[in-house]
Structure 1
Amino acid sequence: MAEQLIELNVTGMHCNNCAMSIHRLLEKKGLQDISVDFAGEEVKFTNNPAVTLPQIVKDIEGLGFKVIGDPALHTPRFYEQVENKFILCAIFTAPLLLHMVLPWHLLHSTWVQLALCLPVFIVGCLHFGKSAFNSVKGGVPNMDVLIFVGSTAAFVYSLVGTLQHLGPRFMFYETCATIITLVLLGNVFEKRSVNQTTSAVKDLMKIQQTTANRMVNGSIEVISAKDVRPGDTLVVNQGDKIPVDGEVLSGGASIDESMLTGESVPVDIEKYGKVIGGTLLIKGNITMLATKVGANTTLSQIIELMKKAQAAKPPVQKLGDKVAAIFVPAVILISVLTFLFTYLIGQSDLQTALMNAIAVLVISCPCAMGLATPTAVMVGLGRAAKNGILIKGGDTVEAVTDAKYIVFDKTGTLTTGKFSIQDIKLNSGTSLEEVRGIITAIEERSNHPIATSLVEQLKSLSKTKTILISATEEKGLGMRAEDVNGNTYFLGSGKTADTHYNLSLYKNQIQIAQIAIDDTIKPEAAGLITQLKQMGITPILLSGDKNNRCQKVAVALGIDEVHGEKLPDEKLSIIDVYKKKGKTLMIGDGINDAPALTRADVGISMSGASQIAIQSARVVLLNTDLSSVVKFLQISRHTLLTIKQNLFWAFAYNVVAIPIAALGFLNPMVGAFTMAFSDVVIIGNSLRLKRKRL
Structure 2
Amino acid sequence: MAENVDIEIRGMSCASCVGRVERALGQQPGVIDAQVNLATQKAAIQMEGGTVTAGLLDAIEAAGYQPVVESIDIPVTGMSCGSCVSRIERALGKLPGMVEVSINLATQKAFVRFLPGAVSLSRIHHAIREAGYEPQDVDTPQQADSEDREGIQLRHKVILAILLTIPVVVIAMGQMVPAFQPFFSSLMPHRGWMAIEWLLTTPVQFYAGARFYRAGYAELRHANPGMNSLVMIGTSAAYFFSVAALLVPQLFPPGTAVSYFEAAAVIVTLILLGRYLEHIAKGRTSQAIKKLLQLQAKTARVLRDGETHEVPIEAVVPGDRLLVRPGERLPVDGVVEEGHSYVDESMISGEPIPVAKGKDAEVVGGTINKNGALTFRATRVGADTVLAQIIQMVESAQADKPPIQQLADKIAGVFVPVVMGIALITFGVWFAVGPQPALSFAFVTTVSVLVIACPCAMGLATPTAIMVGSGKGAEMGVLFRKGAALETLGKMNTVVLDKTGTLTRGRPELTDFVVVEGHEDELLRLVAAVEAQSEHPIAEAIVQGAKARGLELPTISRFNAEPGYGIEAEVDGHQVHVGADRYMHRLGIDLEVVEVQAKALAEDAKSPLYAAVDGRLAAIIAVADPLKTGSAEAIAALKAMGLEVAMLTGDNRGTADAIARQVGIQRVLAEVLPDQKAAEIQRLQTEGRRVAFVGDGINDAPALVQADVGIAIGTGTDIAIEAADVVLMRGDLRGIVNATALSKRTRRTILGNFVWAYGYNVSLIPVAAGVLYPVVGLLLNPMLAAAAMSFSSIFVLTNSLRLRRFTPDIDDTSPMTVGEPQAGQVHQA
What TM-score results when the alignment is normalised by the length of structure 1?
0.84
Deviation sequence 1:312-333 (CA, Å, 0-9, x none):
2222223322221111111111
Residue 358 of structure 2 corresponds to residue 270 of structure 1: yes
Task: Answer yes or no: is 1:560 the counterpart of 2:669.
Answer: no
Are 1:337 and 2:336 counterparts?
Answer: no
Q: For residue 492 of structure 1, what is the aligned residue in structure 2?
A: none
In the alignment, what sits opposite 1:592? 699
Matched, 1:609 2:716: yes
Q: Which amino acid aligns with 1:42?
A: K
Structure 2 equivalent of residue 132 of structure 1: 216
The reply on whether 1:632 has 2:739 as its aligned counterpart is yes
Q: Residues 456 and 36 from structure 1, CA distance in 2 versus in 1: closer, same or farther, beyond 3 angstroms?
A: farther
Deviation of 1:6 after TM superposition, in Å, equals: 2.7
**CA offset digits 1:364-415 (Å, max 9, x no partner):** 1311111111111111111111100001112112322232221111122111
1:407–1:542: 8 Å Cα contact kept in structure 2?
yes
1:672 maps to which residue?
Answer: 786
Q: How does 1:346-385 map to 2 (within 5 A)?
A: 346-349=434-437, 350-385=439-474
Give distance in 1, aligned partners of 2:395 and 2:804: 18
Q: Secondary structure at the match of 1:541?
A: strand
Q: Could you tell me how far apart the structure 2 residues matched to 1:562 and 1:639 are? A: 31
The count of aligned residue pairs is: 632
Q: How does 1:479-558 map to 2 (within 5 A)?
A: 518-558=624-664
Q: Deviations over 1:205-247 (max 9, x none)?
A: 2323522111112222212222211111111122211111111
Specify the alignment match of 1:40 in structure 2: 40
Question: In the TM superposition, what whole-angstrom CA distance separates every residue of 1:38-78 from its partner, at most 9, and x where no partner exists?
Answer: 32233232445786322321331331324222489533458
Partner-residue secondary structure (3-state), 1:81: helix
Summarize the Cα distance change of 1:292–1:139 in structure 2 as closer, same or farther, 3 Å threshold.
farther
Structure 1 residues 241, 5: closer, same or farther in 2, change over 3 A? same
Aligned to 2:403, which of 306, 312, 315? 315
Structure number with bigger Rg: 2
Kept in 2, the 8 Å contact 1:421–1:517? The answer is yes
Deviates more, 1:667-676 or 1:16-25: 16-25
1:340-489 aligned at under 5 Å gives the runs 340-349=428-437, 350-420=439-509, 439=535
Pick one of 139, 145, 150 that aligns with 1:75. Answer: 145
Could you tell me how far apart the structure 2 residues matched to 1:437 and 1:90 are? 84
1:576 corresponding residue in structure 2:
682
Post-superposition Cα deviations, 1:109-139, rounded to whole Å, max 9, x if no partner, equal 2222211111111125521111112223345
Secondary structure, counterpart of 1:255 in structure 2: strand
Equivalent residues of 2:532, 2:540 under 8 A apart: no
Query: Which amino acid in the other structure matches residue 369 of structure 1?
Result: M
In the other structure, the counterpart of 1:650 is 757
2:246 aligned with 1:162: yes
Q: Kindly state the Cα deviation for residue 590 of structure 1 after the two structures are TM-superposed.
A: 0.9
Q: Secondary structure at the match of 2:331?
A: coil
Secondary structure class of the residue paired with 1:170 = coil
Work out whether residues 35 and 401 of structure 2, in 8 Å CA contact, stay in contact via their aligned partners in 1.
no
AA matched with 2:665: I
CA distance in 2, matches of 1:139, 1:389: 43
The aligned counterpart of 2:165 is 93
| 1:260-299 deviation per Cα after TM superposition (whole angstroms, max 9, x unaligned) | 3444333333322222222222333211111111111112
Mapped partners of 1:452, 1:43: distance in 2: 53
Provide the residue aligned with 2:521 in structure 1. Answer: none
SS at match of 1:109: helix
Aligned partner of 2:207 among 123, 146, 160:
123
Identity %: 36
Q: Aligned residue for 1:7?
A: 6
The 3 A distance-change label for structure 1 pair 559 and 549 is same
Counterpart for residue 689 of structure 1: 803
Distance 1:358 1:561 in 2: 62
Matched AA of 2:710: G
Separation (CA, whole Å) in 2 of partners of 1:540 and 1:231 = 45
Contact map agreement 1:39 1:195 (CA 8 A) in 2: no
User: What SS does the aligned partner of 1:523 have?
Assistant: coil
Find out whether 1:225 has 2:321 as its counterpart: no
Shift of residue 352, structure 1, vs aligned partner: 2.0
Give, in whole Å, the separation in 2 of the partners of 1:14 and 1:287.
Answer: 50
CA deviations 1:525-548 (Å, max 9, x no partner) are 111121122112122121123333
Q: CA RMSD in A?
A: 3.2
Task: Tell me which amino acid in the other structure corresponds to 1:75.
Answer: D
Contact 1:15 1:38 in 2 (8 A): yes
Give the Cα–Cα distance (whole angstroms) in 1 for the partners of residues 705 and 633 of structure 2: 27
Q: Quote the offset at 1:661 in angstroms.
A: 0.8
Q: Sort the Cα spacing of 1:169 and 1:357 in 2 relative to 1 into closer, same or farther, 3 A.
A: same
Decide whether aligned partners of structure 1 residues 171 and 564 sit closer, same or farther in structure 2, where only a CA change above 3 A counts.
Answer: same
**Which deviates more, 678-687 or 134-143?**
134-143
**Are the equivalent residues in 1 in contact too, given 2:297–2:329 (CA < 8 A)?**
no
Residues 463-483 of structure 1 deviation map (CA, whole Å, 9 limit, x = unaligned)? 9xxxxxxxxxxxxxxxxxxxx
Structure 1 gaps of 5+ residues are: 424-431, 444-449, 464-497, 504-514
Distance 1:258 1:8 in 2: 33
**Residue 469 of structure 1: aligned partner:** none
Structure 1 pair 56–563 and aligned structure 2 pair: CA distance change class (3 A) = closer
1:82 deviates by 1.5
Task: Note the C-alpha offset of 1:146.
Answer: 0.6
| Residues in 1 aligned to 2:13 and 2:241: alpha-carbon distance in whole angstroms | 29
Preserved CA contact (<8 Å) 2:270 2:790: yes
| Counterparts of 2:545 and 2:60, CA distance in 1 | 60
1:566 is displaced (CA, Å) by 2.1
TM superposition shift of 1:577: 2.3
Q: Which of 194, 204, 208 pairs up with 2:282?
A: 194
What is the alpha-carbon distance in structure 1 between the residues aligned to residue 257 and residue 539 of structure 2?
86
Aligned match of 1:143? 227
Instruction: Point out where structure 2 has 5 or more consecutive residues left out of the alignment.
Output: 71-115, 118-139, 175-179, 513-527, 557-601, 610-620, 774-778, 810-829
